[in-house]
């Protein structure tokens, strides 16, 4: 994953947008030790993600679910507003506990419009996970 500072030098965007993307990356690193119960991703949830992206004006070129443990979502979008892309990533973090495992952002000739490729990992303890049945049962919300 390229360093955020390297990306920042290639894409002229508002500092708040970079701070939001940096925060997502920081949260993905910090969340590895955090325990929370989450519903595992499935195809129905992937369709909900697609609907959220479309509502933000994003038509992903690739939106794929890998149901391994932990579940992962592969996402590629072209010619999207950087702020819309970051907002979508933030919503996926809040709703599905999806955090960037890999993310690449590249600029386009248009101001604040980027191409984004990401692999997002669902983090936390999955409800019904066989490894931690007591934790999942105790933390049901």
Tens digits of residue pLDDT in 53-83: 999 999 999 999 998 888 999 999 999 999 8
Please state, in angstroms and rounded to a whole number, the distance separating the CA atoms of residues 84 and 103: 15
Nearest to 125 by CA among 116, 110, 135, 115: 135
Residue 117: Cβ within 10 Å count: 16
Question: Residue 30 has what pLDDT?
Answer: 63
All residue ranges of the chain with pLDDT < 70 are 1-18, 28-38, 125-141
**Rounded to a whole number, what is the largest CA-CA distance in the chain?**
52
The answer to whether 77 and 108 are in contact (CB under 8 A) is no
Question: CB-hemisphere CA count at 13 Å for 95?
Answer: 12
Which tokens go with 94? 């809040």
The answer to whether 62 and 116 are in contact (CB under 8 A) is no
Cis peptide before 70 (omega within 30 of 0): yes
Angle at which helices 82-96 and 15-30 cross, to 10°: 30
Question: Residue 125 has what pLDDT?
Answer: 58
Please state, in angstroms and rounded to a whole number, the distance separating the CA atoms of residues 139 and 6: 40
């Amino acid at each position: 994953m390229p360093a955020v500072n390297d990306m920042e030098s290639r894409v002229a965007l508002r500092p708040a947008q970079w701070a939001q993307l940096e925060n997502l990356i920081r949260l993905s690193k910090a969340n590895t030790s955090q325990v929370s119960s989450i519903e595992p991703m499935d195809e129905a949830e992937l369709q909900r993600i697609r609907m959220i992206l479309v509502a933000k004006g994003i038509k992903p070129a690739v939106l794929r679910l890998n149901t391994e443990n932990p579940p992962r979502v592969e996402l590629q979008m072209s010619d999207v507003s950087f702020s819309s892309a970051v907002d979508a990533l933030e919503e996926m973090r809040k709703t599905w506990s999806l955090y960037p495992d890999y993310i690449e952002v590249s600029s386009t000739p248009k101001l604040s419009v980027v191409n984004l490729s990401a692999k997002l990992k669902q983090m936390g303890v999955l409800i019904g996970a066989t490894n931690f049945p007591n934790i999942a049962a105790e933390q049901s919300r």
